[in-house]
Amino acid sequence: MIQPEEFSFKSIVCFSHLRWDFVYQRPQHLLSRFAAQAPVYFIEEPIFHDMNHDFLKFDKKVTNLHVIQPHLRAGLPEVELQQSLTLLIDNFLINIELDSCLFWYYTPMALTFTAKYKPKSIVYDCMDELSAFKFAPTELVDLERKLMAKTDLVFTGGHSLYDAKKDQHDNIFAFPSSIEKEHFFKARNKNIEAADQQTISGLKIGFFGVIDERFNLGLIRDIAAQRPEWQIILIGPVVKIDPASLPQDANIHYLGQRAYAELPSYLAGWSVALIPFLLNESTKFISPTKTPEYLAAGVPVVSTPIKDVVRPYGIEKLVQIAASSEDFIRAIDLELKSKSNAQWLNKVDLFLKEMSWDQTCAMMNARLKDTIDETKISRAS
């Protein structure tokens, strides 16, 4: 954990493309921990409404952690929307001591209304290649280039993304997805299975996460058709794709979004966990947080060859890697036929031993302190 005397900021203002109450992932894990050191203001992208005025909605989640939603009038020209958003953020930042504040960016799009500010430090936590995602704004690439030029420190959400970005900044570090081990260890107690999942009879293989353009619908369709005795459990919101395109079979169960706190109770009933992502531009640099979470739950994992899953999890033989539907089914079959996974589980626990979001936060803070110290030396010389 970060010691209070080691934290260099009185506040953190985060600009995010993700909503706090969406899927609980990297931003929530990191910023909820940083909130133990200083107030965190998590500013989401705008919500549009039919009222005749614009405003910021404040929602205090826990001590020191505030989610801020800009609410803007729908239908305004883009220039007016940008002006209104800028005014709202300007009025909010009036009350922030910028010379002791850390700006933390997840989206370069926020630079359109924050570029003029000079906080104590700026971090760009680049968790994904957002420009490759469906419906990405055309100006995103140019804004990321400008943010890279302005930021003091860059983190990436995985090693492949670091490899792609490392020449764009001289103070950049890879921090792959981490884990709350104690939370997911609960799934090893098979008696905690969620009540609604218990009503599904048969052997269960499952996935949790966002079901979007990265998700391999064809793979799920093939597995369901070729192994009708397997019950496929899919947990998570469906976004950016037509729900009508989802495969519909008697053995495919869409349970919708579930709270982070509930996930171990679903994992407790699975025989195998899936990472069924397509290999395309939007998945080229992803580092799925669910990989160590599945493993901590003690559930065998089969994944398509996502780079940051292959390295290290596939190489270390902690996760089965399969490219085609046939290979995927074969890999699941092998896991199901394995009579004992004690040796594998011991290897998993050894691999995960030093991993934690607490440790990640502490290491990020160390990089921040180094950056601040180097800046002081540079200005003094």
Count CA within 13 A, CB hemisphere, residue 21.
8
| 343 class by beta-carbon count within 10 Å (0-12 exposed, 13-18 middle, 19+ buried) | exposed
Handedness of CA 3, 4, 5, 8 (dihedral sign): positive
> Do both 161 and 233 map to the same domain?
no
> Do both 102 and 203 map to the same domain?
no
Listed residue (206, 201, 289, 297) closest to 255, CA to CA: 206
> Do both 195 and 271 map to the same domain?
yes
> Do both 199 and 151 map to the same domain?
no
> Do both 61 and 113 map to the same domain?
yes
99 in Cβ contact with 129 (< 8 Å): no
What distance in Å separates the CA atoms of residue 26 and residue 289, rounded to the nearest whole number? Answer: 8
> Do both 139 and 170 map to the same domain?
yes
User: Which domain, by its residues, includes 323?
Assistant: 181-352
What distance in Å separates the CA atoms of residue 330 and residue 373, rounded to the nearest whole number? Answer: 53
What is the full per-residue pLDDT of the chain (381 aa) written as tens digits?
666 557 889 999 999 999 999 999 999 999 999 999 999 999 999 999 998 899 999 999 999 999 999 999 999 899 999 999 999 999 999 999 999 999 999 999 999 999 999 999 999 999 999 998 888 899 999 999 999 999 999 999 999 999 999 999 999 999 998 999 999 999 999 999 999 999 999 999 999 999 999 999 999 999 999 999 999 999 999 999 999 999 999 999 999 999 999 999 999 999 999 999 999 988 999 999 999 999 999 999 999 999 999 999 999 999 999 999 999 999 999 999 986 789 999 999 999 999 999 999 999 999 999 999 887 555 444
Helix (H) or strand (E) holding 330: helix 325-337
> Do both 174 and 215 map to the same domain?
no
Listed residue (112, 116, 103) closest to 43, CA to CA: 103
The predicted model scores a pTM of 0.94
Length of the chain: 381
Total tally of structural domains belonging to the chain = 2
DSSP conformational letter for 157: S
Q: Tell me the residue ranges of DSSP E strands in 135-246.
A: 153-156, 172-174, 203-208, 230-235
What distance in Å separates the CA atoms of residue 111 and residue 256, rounded to the nearest whole number? Answer: 34
> Do both 171 and 139 map to the same domain?
yes
What distance in Å separates the CA atoms of residue 298 and residue 8, rounded to the nearest whole number? Answer: 38
What distance in Å separates the CA atoms of residue 301 and residue 280, rounded to the nearest whole number? Answer: 21
What distance in Å separates the CA atoms of residue 260 and residue 81, rounded to the nearest whole number? Answer: 34
Tokens of 32: 């909820």
Q: Tell me the CATH number at 262.
A: 3.40.50.2000
